[in-house]
Amino acid sequence: MLEKLDRVPDLLEEARREEEQKGGDRYAIRDRLAQEYRDQQRPFLLAQPFRHHEKCSTGEHGFGAVDYELIVPQGRGLFGARERSAKFKARELHEVREHGAALPPKLAELLRALP
């Protein structure tokens, strides 16, 4: 399932590339891209990095703290856009990739539903 997650665009990374090429504010660009992806009903990742660093459960790996949200638009409902989402942290993703931990249940469920 990590392959599916790796195929989902990280809009902050896309915004950073656009910021380098054209200028602008990466967070405003990220928000614009998120609206475009919602309009196209395409899944995407929102990342919110923090200044502090975290360590994994073994204490041997350190990395920047990042909160992620996988968003899968589900069309429009009576009160606006409908979407499913799962929040997770960079630390949790590291535990899965490097230490064989299981994906957070809500994230795994959402990834299973992706083509």
pLDDT in tens, 11-68: 999 999 999 999 999 999 999 999 999 999 999 999 999 999 999 888 889 989 999 9
For the chain, the domain total comes to 1
User: CA angle, corner 67, sides to 18 and 51, nearest 5?
Assistant: 80
pLDDT surpassing 90 at residue 1: no
Higher pLDDT, 111 or 82: 111
**Contacts for 84 with CB less than 8 Å, ≥ 6 apart:** 71, 72, 74, 110, 113
Higher pLDDT, 14 or 74: 14
Q: Are the beta carbons of 45 and 10 closer than 8 angstroms?
A: yes
Q: Structural domain of residue 44, as residue ranges?
A: 2-113
Higher pLDDT, 80 or 2: 2
How much of the chain is helix, strand and coil, in % rounded to 5?
45, 35, 20
What pLDDT sits at residue 101?
A: 95
